[in-house]
């Protein structure tokens, strides 16, 4: 089968070399091969170059394969009905793919001189980049609502791979955003530099969305129960949507379960007692984010303040904390937890700049009266305004 595909690709190059019509060649490609990941075409490049195939003809074949592949993503039919979280994600895939395709074509045609850099085209480029920036909630919903629920069924490898690709996508999107400008002259100047990352983003998104649409999403549809999809939809609502998302409908099951979990029984402490409802409200009013990971590195609790710094969803409860961090920072987390467990460290702190804010992050080893390790408490706080404090302020001043 693979050899047949290779032969078809080779014949297509020969037809390109013979100067046949581009549209007819593309139609033949679609009919005989369907969507082909451009990486498959790249795989044969070195061999064909040795056989005398020109770089120019090879690039034409690759462009055809990419166009067919991208169009297949945009035309992919949802595997779940409207109102289902997967319908929302797949609809976003099609729109994001459409936006990045248009962006790539505009950038390439203007930077090459094929099109004039009119204000209308430049404004559209800014709008399309804005759509990419607005897509961040798409990835956050996958990472914090869908992936944890899939992992509860033992499927962790594919979600880890998809999350890793999300990081690569963000790098390219950031590069493109940094080249954007509200000044026409600056934007025109930067379009040449924007061509490569937009092309790379087109390729990466086409491959990534194809994997999710054809492998991960169908697997999740088989694994998750209806009540779990209701929970995913609720987490989607909590995390938020892009401006062009089709929001899923939410069932009543998770709401009922949440109400059932709230008890009027008091929790008794050494220094007093509190009802569960008051205790929960207190946690959620603290001006800090709190997350507790147990001694087995499983997430057991997080506060739900209205202005959370980092996204959390109920689906992460019971999730391995190692799966909650991208690979590039995982070794730091594991080192801290190892030190806590061995008793060589009791706390760790960091501070980062995030969206114009200074964020202070602290980890504390939680131990019982016998110094037995119970878990790790993560506390994150926006200290931007605190750093500006000078002098004194008396109560009610």
143, exposed or middle or buried, with CB in 10 Å at 0-12, 13-18, 19+? buried
pLDDT at residue 265 greater than cutoff 50 = yes
pLDDT at residue 159 greater than cutoff 50 = yes
Residue in 244, 169, 178 with CA at minimum distance from that of residue 202: 169
Residue in 150, 164, 268 with CA at minimum distance from that of residue 217: 150
Q: What is the pLDDT of residues 325-337, one digit of tens each?
A: 888 888 999 999 9
Residue range 57-77: mean pLDDT, rounded: 76
| Torsion sign, CA atoms 113, 118, 122, 128 | negative
Contact 251, 226 (CB under 8 A): yes
pLDDT at residue 253 greater than cutoff 50 = no
Which residues lie across from 379 on neighbouring strands? 290, 362
Q: Above pLDDT 90, what percent of the chain? A: 55
Residue range 146-167: mean pLDDT, rounded: 95
Higher pLDDT, 200 or 395: 200
pLDDT at residue 251 greater than cutoff 70 = no
Which of 113-127, 317-331, 374-388 is the least confident region? 317-331
Residue in 138, 142, 146, 151 with CA at minimum distance from that of residue 323: 151
The 3-class SS string of 292-351 reads: EEECCCEEEEECCCCCCCCCCCHHHCCCEHHHHCCHHHHHHHHHHHHHHHHCCCCEEEEE
Give the CA radius of gyration of the chain.
26
Contact 101, 238 (CB under 8 A): no
pLDDT at residue 343 greater than cutoff 70 = yes
d(CA 192, CA 109): 10
Residue range 28-46: mean pLDDT, rounded: 71
d(CA 363, CA 347): 5
d(CA 301, CA 362): 16
Higher pLDDT, 126 or 7: 126
Q: Above pLDDT 70, what percent of the chain? A: 92
d(CA 104, CA 44): 25
User: SS3 breakdown of the chain: % helix, strand, coil, rounded to 5?
Assistant: 60, 10, 25
Which residues lie across from 298 on neighbouring strands? 320
Contact 297, 336 (CB under 8 A): no
pLDDT at residue 263 greater than cutoff 50 = no
Residue range 58-77: mean pLDDT, rounded: 76
Q: What is the CATH number of domain 85-239?
A: 1.20.120.520
* CATH superfamily placement of domain 269-388: PAS domain (3.30.450.20)
Residue 59 pLDDT: 81
pLDDT band for position 306 (cuts 50, 70, 90):
confident
Residue range 256-274: mean pLDDT, rounded: 65
Residue 36 pLDDT: 65
pLDDT at residue 142 greater than cutoff 70 = yes
Q: What is the pLDDT of residues 367-389, one digit of tens each?
A: 998 999 999 999 999 999 999 99
Mean pLDDT of the chain: 87
pLDDT at residue 236 greater than cutoff 90 = yes
Residue range 275-293: mean pLDDT, rounded: 91
Q: What is the pTM of this model?
A: 0.73
pLDDT at residue 85 greater than cutoff 80 = yes
pLDDT band for position 138 (cuts 50, 70, 90):
very high
Q: How far is residue 232 from each of residues 77, 85, 131, 278, 319, measured CA to CA in Å?
A: 21, 7, 24, 26, 15
Task: Determine how β-strand 357-367 pairs with β-strand 347-354.
Answer: antiparallel
**Which DSSP letter does residue 269 get?**
E
Task: Concatenate the DSSP letters of all residues of 81-140 into one string.
Answer: -TTSHHHHHHHHHHHHHHHHHHHHHHHHHHHTTSS---HHHHHHHHHHHHHHHHTHHHHH
Residue 250 pLDDT: 65
d(CA 239, CA 247): 12
Residue in 254, 252, 280 with CA at minimum distance from that of residue 267: 280
């Amino acid at each position: 089968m693979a050899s047949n595909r290779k032969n078809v690709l080779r014949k297509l190059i020969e037809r390109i070399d013979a100067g046949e019509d581009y549209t007819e060649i593309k139609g033949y490609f679609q009919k005989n091969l369907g969507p082909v990941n451009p990486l498959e075409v790249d795989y044969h490049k070195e061999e064909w170059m040795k056989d005398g195939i020109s770089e120019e003809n090879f690039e034409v074949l690759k462009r055809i394969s990419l166009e067919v592949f991208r169009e297949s993503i945009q035309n992919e039919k949802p595997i779940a009905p409207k109102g289902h979280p997967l319908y929302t994600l797949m609809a976003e895939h099609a729109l994001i793919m459409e936006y990045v395709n248009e962006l790539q074509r505009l950038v390439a045609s203007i930077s090459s001189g094929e099109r004039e850099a009119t204000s209308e085209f430049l404004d559209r480029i800014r709008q399309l980049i804005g759509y990419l920036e607005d897509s961040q909630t798409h990835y956050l919903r996958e990472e914090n609502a869908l992936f944890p629920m899939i992992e509860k069924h033992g499927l962790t490898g594919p979600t880890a791979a998809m999350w890793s690709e999300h990081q690569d996508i963000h790098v390219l999107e950031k590069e493109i955003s940094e080249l954007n400008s509200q000044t026409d002259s600056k934007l025109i100047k930067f379009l040449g530099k924007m061509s490569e990352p937009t092309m790379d983003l087109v390729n990466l998104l086409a491959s990534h969305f194809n994997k999710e649409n054809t492998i991960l999403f169908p697997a999740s549809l088989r694994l998750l129960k209806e009540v779990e999809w209701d929970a995913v939809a609720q987490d989607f609502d909590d995390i938020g949507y892009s401006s062009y998302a089709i929001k899923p409908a939410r069932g009543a099951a998770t709401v009922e379960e949440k109400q059932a979990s709230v008890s009027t029984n008091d929790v008794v402490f050494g220094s007093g007692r509190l009802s569960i409802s008051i205790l929960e409200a207190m946690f959620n009013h603290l001006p800090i984010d709190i997350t507790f990971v147990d001694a087995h590195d499983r997430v057991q609790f997080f506060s739900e303040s209205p202005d959370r710094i980092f996204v959390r969803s109920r689906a992460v409860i019971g999730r391995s904390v190692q799966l909650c961090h991208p690979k590039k920072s995982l070794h730091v987390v594991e080192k801290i937890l190892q030190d806590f467990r061995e008793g060589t460290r009791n706390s760790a702190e960091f501070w980062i700049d995030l969206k114009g804010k200074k964020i202070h992050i602290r980890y504390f080893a939680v131990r019982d009266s016998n110094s037995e390790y119970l878990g790790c408490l993560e506390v994150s706080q926006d200290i931007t305004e605190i750093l500006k404090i000078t002098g004194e302020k008396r109560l009610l001043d």
